[in-house]
Amino acid sequence: MAGVAVPIVELTGGVKFPMIGFGTWQSAPDVVGNAVRTAIDAGYRHIDCAWNYFNEKEVGQAIKDKIAEGKIKREDVFITTKLWCTYHRPEDVKRGFQESLNDLGLDYIDLFLIHGPPAFKPGPKWFPTDDSDFDDADYVDTFKAMESLVDEGLCRAIGLSNFNTQQLGRVLQNCRIKPAVNQVELHPYLVQQKLVDYCKSKNVVITAYSPLGSPGRDFAQPGEARVLEDPVVLDIAKNHGKTPAQVLLRYHLDRGIVVIPKSVTPSRIKENLQVLDFSLTADDIKTLGSLDRKNRYVDWSFCKTHKYFPFNDSA
């Protein structure tokens, strides 16, 4: 791993899951390939993708380039992707999976997640503009259809994203293959301790997306509070001789949470991996947790009237 010993957690069935991954959300197709190549060279061995990031062909090409160079083998890199909401009907699940598999140019996926509980009507319109675009497909049935992908050897593990405790509980009660992961937004401004505790009690691994507060997202609001600039974060970073981003990533790792920071800047890509030579104190972690403002930057407001909207629940 280029000399980088990233810690591993074990998923259902003994699948090894690197605790630091490389995020590809909102990375333009013309830059994401170089970013992924840089990440692999730096030592990342976990790449987080999704159908609706619209850049999986470029991500897949970058992975193939590094395999051709002899830098990695396919089995060295852990690939996560996600089923978009227009593929929730059970009969559409495999087609949605196959589109990502084909775009990535791979024979199998390591981890396949339901991107979010709400279902949208199948078809070329991927983003809902009003309630008429919503579909009634039940995410439990969607997950059951995903189980067959594991049976067929097409993916090694399956899981969820953006699910609250009640929704996760429904899946756990009705599944044959346990969801291995719940990927959710987490940072000191959105601690979600109830959800974290519930996932841990059920041995569901948590992946934190937007662990740095997603400052570069294209719908960021002018003047919004930025956790990277919080004086408390800056002070802890100074005490450890680290950057605020490194402190925020360590905050999750020290609590057993997987992180998938995203960047297209080579220096930051490397910096985000340089978090294994220090730990936060218990007081640091408690102080960072006290910053909670319930600031959800990725709020899925485009489907807040959907019956399966996940963020009405307190967790």
Query: Catalytic residue among 53, 189, 251, 297, which?
Result: 53
Q: Tell how strand 78-83 and strand 119-120 pair up.
A: unpaired
Q: Is the Cβ–Cβ distance between 303 and 135 less than 8 Å? A: no
**Rounded distance, CA 279 to CA 253, Å?**
9
Answer yes or no: 209 catalytic.
Answer: no
- The answer to whether 115 is a known ligand-binding residue is yes
The residue type at 299: D
Q: Output 285-291 pairs: Cβ under 8 A, ≥24 positions apart.
A: 285/251, 285/254, 285/255, 287/232, 287/236, 288/188, 288/232, 288/233, 288/236, 288/247, 288/248, 288/251, 289/188, 289/191, 289/193, 291/188, 291/189, 291/191, 291/227, 291/230, 291/232, 291/233
Q: Which two tokens stand for residue 161?
A: 């994203």
Q: What is the Cβ-side half-sphere exposure of residue 223, based on CA atoms within 13 angstroms?
A: 0
Q: What are phi and psi of 113, to 5 degrees?
A: -115, 150
The residue type at 221: Q
Region of residue 13 (left: phi > 0; alpha: psi -120 to 50; beta: else): left
Q: Please give the annotated binding residues for substrate, written as ranges.
A: 115
Catalytic positions: 53
